[in-house]
Amino acid sequence: AILVQVPPPLCIAAARGMKIVLIGESSVGKSALVCRFVHNRLPGDAKATVGIAYSKRSLVDEDTGEEYALQIWDTAGQERFQSVSTHHYRAADGALLVFDISSERSFQSLDKWLAELRENTDPNVVVALVGTKVDLGHKRAVPPEGAQAYAKSNGLLYMETSSYWDRSQGSSKDVAAGVERIFLRLLRAVVQQQRDLGRNPSMLDISSYHEANRETRISLSDDSGRRQRGEGCDC
């Protein structure tokens, strides 16, 4: 049987929903990125994602006062789960296309993942290419110039990170920065894209979100990373 971890019923009031999917080969560190972003720690074990894993985090744009309910879908990298994973690409607003800088194979597989994503999502979905495990720089198999060239030729954002870093490290303008900065940059690009297209992020009916979930808020207008953090970790 294929197990799929699905989200609880949505209940977020006056927040605008953003669906972000993470794709890439198994073992490139997608789940570790999500756990670092949501809980600012590494996951408790290294088991591969089975089917789909779901997380969420609330973000506020302090310039506009807009609140965004970020829904994060971590897809399995194993081939046997791809039919399940591709179903959950639909209606994604943005995606992180993840590879391991110490694995040439994970980089060579990017064309497959990008084609699969674009086949199953809106053609305007915003995609960021993310190189993980930069703490293993001495084992780097993919030069940053090659990754940047790939991103440019495919119209992708590009950043590198390590899940061992604090999530707020660096700036969203840096190529190498904490995972929080990567999500910030992606979200800003999604918001700008939707504005350019004359769209609004989807409104969600979320009346009990703040009470039922200890949210994390971070500013989209200030790279200083001011935020209010809740406790708890479910990775």
- List pLDDT tens digits, range 199-209: 765 544 333 33
Q: Is residue 41 part of a domain?
A: yes
Instruction: Say yes or no to pLDDT of 51 above 60.
Output: no
Q: Is residue 81 part of a domain?
A: yes
Instruction: Say yes or no to pLDDT of 131 above 90.
Output: yes
**Cα(53)–Cα(166) distance, integer angstroms:** 22
Q: Is residue 6 part of a domain?
A: no
Q: Quote the tokens at residue 110.
A: 């990017």
**Cα(233)–Cα(29) distance, integer angstroms:** 18
Q: Which domain, by its residues, includes 146?
A: 16-220
Read off the pLDDT band of 97 (50, 70, 90). Answer: very high
Q: Is residue 37 part of a domain?
A: yes
* Structural domains counted in the chain: 1
Q: Average pLDDT of the chain? A: 77
Alpha-carbon 86 to chain mean position: 16
Q: Quote the tokens at residue 68.
A: 């965004």
Q: Is residue 227 part of a domain?
A: no
Q: Is residue 11 part of a domain?
A: no
Domain of 85: which CATH number? 3.40.50.300
Three-class SS state of 163: coil
Q: What pTM was estimated for this model as a whole?
A: 0.77
Read off the pLDDT band of 90 (50, 70, 90). Answer: confident
Q: Is residue 5 part of a domain?
A: no
Phi, psi for residue 232 in degrees, rounded to 5 = 110, 145
- 88 residue type, one letter: H
Burial of residue 116 (number of CB atoms within 10 Å: 0-12, 13-18, 19+): middle
**Cα(167)–Cα(231) distance, integer angstroms:** 15
Q: Among 46-55, 104-113, 183-192, which stretch is predicted with the lowest mean pLDDT?
A: 46-55
Percent of the chain with pLDDT over 90: 43
Q: For residues 235 and 18, which has the higher predicted lDDT (pLDDT)?
A: 18
Q: Is residue 233 part of a domain?
A: no
Q: How many CB atoms lie within 10 A of CB 91?
A: 14
Contacts of 119 (CB under 8 A, 6+ apart): 86
Read off the pLDDT band of 83 (50, 70, 90). Answer: low
Q: For residues 21 and 5, which has the higher predicted lDDT (pLDDT)?
A: 21
The DSSP letter of residue 38 is: H
Write out pLDDT tens, residues 137-161: 999 999 999 999 999 999 999 999 9
Look at residues 193, 225, 221 and name the one whose alpha carbon lies nearest to residue 63: 221
